[in-house]
A and B are shown apart, each in its own frame.
Chain A
Amino acid sequence: MAEALILDAEAVNALAYPSERRVLAARAAAILRLAYDRRALVRVPAPVLAEVCRGVRYDSAINHLLNNPGVGVLELTRSIAQQAGHMLARLKLSSSHAVDAFVVATALQFETAVVATGDPDDIRRLAAPFPRIGILAL
């Protein structure tokens, strides 16, 4: 299975609005460059879209990013959702952390993955048992 860069909500926003989020976008661009050099896949877990899409009038920059053939949206499958539920249960976290758990469970579908995130603490807790997942805090 391939390597992947997984984009969390903050990473998607940073790449969609680089002029407005210059510092975060520069960090996201660096990990994107590394993913390109390593021939890794770039993926957005579908539940992340619920955090970044805010209406047809506001989504054009997000859609521009998602329409790029290199940025794939990974569907939420039964298996990923169940794995996410198990992670939340292990850490006694409520479903308010569900999207973070979906992101980590999606990363686990790959041989190795880096999650680019603006929420490193929660993602780190969820990914702690899995050394093949790296975290890049934006």
Chain B
Amino acid sequence: MSQPAAKLSVSVPGELAAAVRKRVGTRGLSGFVARAMAHELEREGIGVLLGELEQKLGPPSKAEMARARKAWPKR
């Protein structure tokens, strides 16, 4: 079941607004903004988690980062 929508009034740079409208049209704007907001909240959460891990373990080593990069498939 979908949640009730909340109306927001936000101000963004004109060029950014024009680029987004061109990409998704007026009717797709709400969905686009909702996805972007959700994604930013997720990223902030991962940033917090990385901070907690770094406090306990220190930053990831170069070797571990290289290993991780190797595992990521090419697009």
Which residues of A have CB within 8 Å of B52?
Answer: 18
Which of B54, B61, B68 neighbours the largest number of chain A CB atoms within 10 Å of its CB?
B68
Docked Cα-Cα span, A131 to B46, in Å, equals: 26
Q: Which of A34-42, A52-60, A79-87, A88-96 lines the interface with chain B?
A: A34-42
Contact B75 A68, beta carbon cutoff 8 Å: no
Chain B contact surface mostly: helix
Tier of interface size on chain A: 35 or more
Docked Cα-Cα span, A135 to B52, in Å, equals: 24
Encoded as 1 (CB less than 8 Å from any A CB) or 0, chain B from 44 to 75 comes to 11111110111011001100110111011111
Tier of interface size on chain B: 20 to 34
Contact B42 A34, beta carbon cutoff 8 Å: no
Contact B57 A34, beta carbon cutoff 8 Å: no
Which residues of B have CB within 8 Å of A68?
Answer: 45-46, 48-49
- Contact of A114 with B64 at beta-carbon distance under 8 Å, contacts A35-B46, A39-B43, A70-B49 already known: no
B residues contacting A by CB (< 8 A) are 39, 41-50, 52-54, 56-57, 60-61, 64-65, 67-69, 71-75
A residues contacting B by CB (< 8 A) are 3, 15, 18-19, 22, 25-27, 29-36, 38-39, 41-42, 65, 68-72, 111-114, 131-136
